[in-house]
Amino acid sequence: MNIRFEKAAALKLKPDVSKVKFGSVYSDYMFMMDWTVDGGWQDPRIVPFEDLSLSPAALVFHYALEVFEGLKAYRTPEGKIQMFRVDENGKRMANSAERMSLPRLPEEMFVEAVEALVSVERDWVPDQPGTSLYVRPVLMAVNPDLALHGPAHCLFFIICSPVGSYYAGGLQCNAIRVEEQDVRAVRGGTGFAKCGGNYACAQRAANQAVADGYGDVLWLDGVERRFVEEVGGMNIMFKKGNTVMTPQIATGSVLPGITRKSIIELLKEQGYTVEEKKIDIDEVAKDLEDGKIEEIWGCGTAAVISPVGKLCIHGKDYVINNFETGPLARKLYDTLTGIQWGTVEDTHGWIFPIQ
């Protein structure tokens, strides 16, 4: 790509990331590119971060024709900048786009755009432990069209936000509650796609859970309301002896997390049996009752690993591992973040150095 660069008149002051709420501060520049039905992808550019000017009739506002991604840039102890499995985010965005009838951005263009923007914004990658530059690519249909004829003009843009921990407490136990009423995704729906609508329909239950003293919700399948799916912004794993269980993604109603995929590889290398399968919430309750489930954690880019210290199932609270981070969650967190921040050797080819 021939990426045009437009210099900002002035640069912003960088904040103390340890005091910043996740996702609330944005860097100086953003990547932008248009797509039109006649001209394809065009005019890749890195421009000062600014408001968008769009028609109130733009498709995205009415029919949610939008998909996004989330990834991070890390600063190593030597001051180098690196990213994690950017190609996987590129593949997932293309698959999400296909589900929403948006144009598939070629994976190589996605990677090039992310790398180019992070390279320009390298000074925004913080250096305090546990901090990173969160990178948010978005693809949306912006042509005015109340009749929903489909995307004729799309915008692909990427913004960056320096972040600390997703949850205010960092690697601390979280309390989550099984959602009994609302449904996030169904088979044949959009659960596997990272589209805004999945988060919009999840908001009410999440808000209610927070109002009731929980950090997040655990979604069940939308048909039988019995099988575990995922947490609001994370996949979920259960440790039982030498086995780690996680919901299968073949149903199409769970987001195929890149952290999930990486952790499965790490667990197998460490000799654990990983079962990707249907997980009945009543069996989880029974296993918790019998003390057979020793650890539960959520995993995702923003949260990394989030140990679940309390799980509410059908109105009953189960405390896991005395509401303390378990040894396996801790070990996985250390290994994964070690690879991401460059203190543990990357033997998998997961790291993308940024020049």
Residue ranges in contact with ligand COI by CB under 6 A: 70, 233, 300-302
Q: How far is the CB of 85 from ligand COI (least distance, A)?
A: 12
Nearer to ligand PLP by Cβ, of 83 and 234: the residue is 234
Give the count of beta carbons closer than 10 Å to the beta carbon of residue 14: 14
Q: Does 258 bind ligand PLP (CB under 6 A)?
A: yes
Residues in the chain: 355
Q: Does 301 bind ligand PLP (CB under 6 A)?
A: yes
Strands (E) located in 165-263: 174-178, 216-220, 228-231, 235-240, 243-247
**In the bound complex, what is the minimum distance in angstroms from residue 234's beta carbon to ligand PLP?**
5
Given ligand PLP, ligand COI, none, residue 229, with its beta carbon under 5 to 8 Å by kind, binds: none
What distances in angstroms separate CA 329 from CA 145, 187, 218, 299, 333, one per listed residue?
48, 30, 18, 10, 6
Nearest to 72 by CA among 302, 297, 322: 302
Q: How far is the CB of 87 from ligand PLP (least distance, A)?
A: 12
Q: Which of 103, 164, 257, 326 binds ligand PLP (CB under 6 A)?
A: 257
Q: Rounded to the nearest whole angstrom, what is the least distance from the CB of residue 300 to ligand COI in the complex? A: 4
Maximum pairwise Cα distance, the chain: 63
As to burial, measured by CB atoms within 10 angstroms (0-12 exposed, 13-18 middle, 19+ buried), residue 170 is middle
Under DSSP, the state recorded for 147 is T
Contact partner, 230, from ligand PLP, ligand COI, none, Cβ < 5-8 Å per class: ligand PLP
Residue nearest ligand COI by beta-carbon distance:
70
- CB nearer to ligand COI: give 167 or 272: 167
User: Least distance in Å: CB of 23 to ligand COI?
Assistant: 7
> Which of ligand PLP, ligand COI, none sits in contact with 162, Cβ below 5 to 8 A by type?
none
| 174 contact, one of ligand PLP, ligand COI, none, CB 5-8 Å limit per kind | none
Question: Residue 220, interface with ligand PLP (CB under 6 A)?
Answer: no
Determine, following the binding rule CB under 6 A, whether residue 233 of this chain makes contact with ligand PLP.
yes
Task: State the CB neighbour count (10 A cutoff) for residue 290.
Answer: 8
Nearer to ligand COI, 82 or 301 (CB): 301
- Asked if 230 touches ligand PLP (CB under 6 A), the answer is yes
Nearest to 332 by CA among 298, 309, 293: 298
Please return the burial class of 308, using the count of CB atoms within 10 Å of its CB with bins 0-12, 13-18 and 19+: buried
- Which DSSP category does 193 fall into? S
Interface residue list for ligand PLP (CB under 6 A): 70, 230, 233-235, 255, 257-260, 300-301
